[in-house]
Amino acid sequence: MPWYPQPALGQPGWYPPGYGFDPTDQLVTPPGAGVSGWFDRCVGAVRRGWRLLLPILLLTQVLPAAALSVISLLVDPSAEWDATASQDPNALPDTFLTDLATLLGVLIGGSLLFGLVQSVGWAAGSWVVARQAAGEPVGLGAALRYGLRRAFGLWGWTLLTGLIVALGVCLCVIPGIYFAFALSMAGPVWLFERQAPIGRAWRMFHDRLGLLLGRVAMVVAAVIVGSMVAGVVEAAGTVPFGTTPFDSAGSAVGVTMVILAAAVLALPAHVVQLVGLVVTYAEQRAHEGPVNAARLAGELG
């Protein structure tokens, strides 16, 4: 093929049928196939897997995110603080430190727990995408069981990656964005290879800087647009319920439904992120040597 010249049959470096690059492989984009080849495989993965990916991501991304938003709003003390400030701008509420500790505890603890549940979904979704591309059987229960087996490891590496990105954000934001792109393959690397995901993702990014940067940038752009739509809907929808929506049962139900609806609107963004990163990882592997969907599915274990 023009993008990867193969040695003659039987010569060193020749790969038997089914092992080398296959232009029709449903997961691996062969070197030289370009953005269109990558995009076609992303679309194909969504078409094959949406019946499983949607419930997986609904259970592990949408519902936990909505629950965290509702709980955060429930313990938000800003309305009480505003009332105190209106009476005496120089006074702090008597329960200021307690309220602040509660809010931070909910945000930090909830985010950590959400990250663990989210890792179940990322692992399960990656398993579905890879196995379907290889023509292997998949099911919702089997996918979630796989996700549970891999969740703690993926969660730990995700936390470390997040800390590195957060440190970069503290250094005038730009380094944080750079770290986020440079480590974008850390999750797939750990799931498929299960060793040194930080260093491996870093090298993969810098070995093919333009290629990986372009693919991840398109994924990020789609996720940002989807997240912004959901955020605008939530912000606009919760305004009519005021600053204390849980003071009455009716407003509590209303604001909860708005938050849930907004979270569901973000579901396509979760699908795009998952599929885009897995297909991008498979393409990066193809630049390192012949690989196909069957081999990648086998590596997941």
Supply the pLDDT for residue 5. 46
Instruction: State the average pLDDT over residues 12-32.
Output: 68
Sort residue 2 into left (φ over 0), alpha (ψ -120 to 50) or beta. alpha
Residue with tokens 């969907």: 293
| pLDDT reading at 14 higher than 70 | no
pTM of the model: 0.88
Q: CA 301 to CA 292: how far, in whole Å?
A: 15
Supply the pLDDT for residue 32. 85
Q: CA 275 to CA 218: how far, in whole Å?
A: 12
| pLDDT reading at 11 higher than 80 | no
pLDDT band for 280, please (50, 70, 90 cuts).
very high
Supply the pLDDT for residue 156. 95
| pLDDT reading at 78 higher than 50 | yes
Instruction: State the average pLDDT over residues 172-191.
Output: 94
- What proportion of the chain, given as a percentage, has pLDDT over 90? 67
Supply the pLDDT for residue 85. 66
Supply the pLDDT for residue 115. 92
Any idea which of 28-42, 100-114, 272-286 has the lowest mean pLDDT? 100-114
At 53, which amino acid appears? L
**Per-residue three-class SS string for the chain:** CCCCCCCCCCCCCCCCCCCCCCCCCCCCCCCCCHHHHHHHHHHHHHHHHHHHHHHHHHHHHHHHHHHHHHHHHHHCCHHHHHHHHHHCCCCCCCCHHHHHHHHHHHHHHHHHHHHHHHHHHHHHHHHHHHHHHCCCCCCHHHHHHHHHHHHHHHHHHHHHHHHHHHHHHHCCCHHHHHHHHHCCCHHHHHHHHCCCHHHHHHHHHHHCHHHHHHHHHHHHHHHHHHHHHHHHHHHHHHHHHCCCHHHCHHHHHHHHHHHHHHHHHCHHHHHHHHHHHHHHHHHHHHCCCCCCHHHHHHHHC
- What proportion of the chain, given as a percentage, has pLDDT over 70? 90
Q: pLDDT for 102-127, tens place per residue?
A: 888 988 998 899 999 999 999 999 99
pLDDT band for 285, please (50, 70, 90 cuts).
very high
| pLDDT reading at 9 higher than 60 | no
| pLDDT reading at 65 higher than 70 | yes
Supply the pLDDT for residue 246. 85
Q: pLDDT for 182-191, tens place per residue?
A: 999 999 999 9
Supply the pLDDT for residue 272. 96
| pLDDT reading at 15 higher than 80 | no
Return the structure tokens found at 164. 């590195």
Any idea which of 30-39, 85-94, 192-201 has the lowest mean pLDDT? 85-94
Which residue, among 182, 267, 259, has the nearest Cα to 222 in the 3D structure? 267
Supply the pLDDT for residue 119. 96
Exposed (0-12), middle (13-18) or buried (19+): which is 13, by Cβ within 10 Å? exposed
pLDDT band for 1, please (50, 70, 90 cuts).
very low
| pLDDT reading at 213 higher than 90 | yes
Return the structure tokens found at 214. 């372009």
| pLDDT reading at 16 higher than 60 | no
